[in-house]
Chain A
Amino acid sequence: MQERLSFEALYESQFVSTWAMLKYLGVPPSQLDDAAQELWVVVHRRYAEFEGRSGIRTWLFAIAVNVERNFRRAERRRGPIVALPSGLRAPYGDPGLDQEAREAWDLVLGFVQTLDETRRTVFVASLLEGLSAAETAEVTGLDQPTVYNRVRALRRSFQLWIEQHRSEP
């Protein structure tokens, strides 16, 4: 059992990670501050109940998934989104990033948007966050063999997606 961190220490050590989780899950850049705030309010409220039976990153990731889901629902309630033509669409990534990084973000987040919630969670948890199959199974409620299968299928699909959407040959 790891030593229990104070809230501040947890925040300091995990803020960047939770930010990335939300970003991977597809929270728009303009809402990342709000989503991160929401996530850490929940952490603050629930941290006392956290017993350390799962890894802290798994726990935080599960909260991030819920926060992202709520943001997505709120977005849906606000009305349908009319997609811009791809030429007009702003890149997902930070404008300060280099071309390769921006394209990588566009590819990942464009792909993530095509997935249903469970697959999106598996993709982010396993391929981006580096959670184990067991941890991904905990977060998604799937069994481990299904997680393995999904991860394999997602890799294949993402490979195709990249081939179809990357700008360079």
Chain B
Amino acid sequence: MSEEFPLVDRVLQRVRATAAPPPGSATRVLSGVARQVAGGAPVHPGAGAAPQPTPPPAAHVAVAPPAVARQSTWALHVVRLGRWVVFGLAAGGVGYWWGFQRAAHAPLEHVAAPVEQRVVGPSVVLSPAQPSAPAQPDFAPPSAPSSEPEPEPARAAPVARGASEAPARRRLAPRRATAPSLQPLDLHEALQLLSRAQSALRKGLPDRALELLDQLEQRQPGELLMEERRVTRILTLCELGEVDQARAVRQTLGPGPVSSIYAGRLDASCAGVEPASTDLKNSVPRPDPAAPDTTRP
């Protein structure tokens, strides 16, 4: 603070005291971030080039912005966000337990096609007025799920091409047999997992994508990123030739319009067009230009 320029200080202080965002912006922006990260939309190329300076920061010489004026608005954001997250986790926990019980006791064939059951089963309508969600622990520390191994090229590569005709169910079964972690994913981890699934899908590894999506369903069965997850699953199932399953998942998105960033991709997918004939089900893998001969015997 400078005594030389009291007018400057007064103006700056007034500005700092009134810099809070309007109500609802934190939630709006967060959901936009989730959509953008999950949808893989490009960000401005230079935006990430923030330097990470090497010397340690010195003590501040100026007064930090006053937080009091912001806190009341921000507290509302936090409460809303927290309520949303707690409820999502609570609903997710119930859904997870339900899904896990079914998976543990179901025959393999049944377990191999759990998509419709899971997405239409414990579906939850978010409502801020939902009473008394049971208390949940805070989010997991970020280090816990980062131990999630990256896709192994040596394992993933053999199923990359010609996989659309290969029996996905055969590969799904052992995955279900492994005990899932009980710790639910937080948003960051869920986004990372979803991004990896989308990346695998883009690389032509739909099996791997489905595996990652299943992991996501297991570890975060709530409503978190639900639209993005389902869209990715639909596209993945289409890649695998599981047209019926893809359409079933598409129906769980409801009759309303899907977010515009997905609408085009969904319309262009196998779940976006009406079947010309019912004979087509489950057997129409997309042609793979890179390996056209391997997809047909």
Which residues on A are within 8 Å of B, measured CB to CB? 4, 6-9, 11-12, 15-17, 19-20, 23-24, 32-34, 36-42, 44-51, 53-55, 58-59, 62-63, 65-67, 69-70, 74, 93-94, 97, 100-101, 104-105, 107-108, 126-135, 138-139, 155-156, 158-159, 162-163
Contacts and interface: CB of A to CB of B under 8 A. Distances in A.
A128 B37 contact: no
B47 A70 contact: yes
A105 B48 contact: no
Contacts, number: 202
B283 interface: no
Given A105-B18, A129-B65, A159 B7 contact: yes
Contacts of B61: 132-133
Interface string B62-98: 1111000010011001100100010000000000000
Contacts of B65: 17, 20, 128-130
Contact of B15 (A8, A67, A104): A104
A62 B49 CA distance: 9
Contacts of A9: 139
Given A16-B70, A130-B63, A155-B2, A24 B51 contact: no
Given A130-B63, A159-B7, A67 B47 contact: yes
Contacts of B32: 33-34, 37
B28 A33 contact: yes
Contacts of A23: 19
Nearest to B44: A70
Contact of A69 (B15, B21, B46, B78): B46
A66 B47 contact: yes
A105 B15 CA distance: 6
A123 B59 CA distance: 18
A15 B48 contact: no
A46 B81 contact: no
A54 B17 CA distance: 26
Per CB-CB distance, the 9 closest pairs between chain A and chain B, nearest first, are A7-B188, A138-B53, A20-B19, A134-B58, A70-B44, A104-B14, A62-B50, A37-B32, A63-B50
Contact of B5 (A39, A46, A159): A159
A20 B47 CA distance: 18
Contact of A94 (B18, B54, B56, B62): B18
Given A8-B139, A38-B44, A104-B14, 9 more contacts: A6-B139, A11-B26, A32-B25, A45-B48, A54-B57, A70-B47, A126-B62, A127-B62, A162-B7
Contacts of B29: 15, 33, 36-37, 40
B68 to A, nearest CB: 12
Contacts of B59: 132
Interface string B138-161: 011110001000000000000000
B12 to A, nearest CB: 6
B52 interface: yes
Contact of B48 (A6, A58, A66, A131): A66
Nearest to A71: B44
B60 A132 contact: yes
B102 interface: no
A116 to B, nearest CB: 18
Contact of B57 (A46, A70, A129, A132): A132
Contacts of A138: 51, 53, 55, 57
A49 to B, nearest CB: 8
B43 interface: yes
A25 B233 CA distance: 40
Contact of A162 (B8, B51, B60): B8
B106 interface: no
B118 interface: no
A81 B17 CA distance: 30
Contacts of B36: 37, 41
A127 B57 CA distance: 17
Given A53-B52, A54-B53, A134-B57, A44 B37 contact: yes
A17 B52 CA distance: 19
B7 to A, nearest CB: 5
A126 to B, nearest CB: 6
Contacts of A54: 52-57
19 contacts: A15-B30, A37-B29, A37-B32, A41-B43, A42-B48, A45-B37, A45-B43, A47-B188, A53-B52, A54-B54, A58-B57, A62-B51, A63-B48, A65-B50, A66-B50, A93-B18, A104-B18, A139-B53, A158-B5
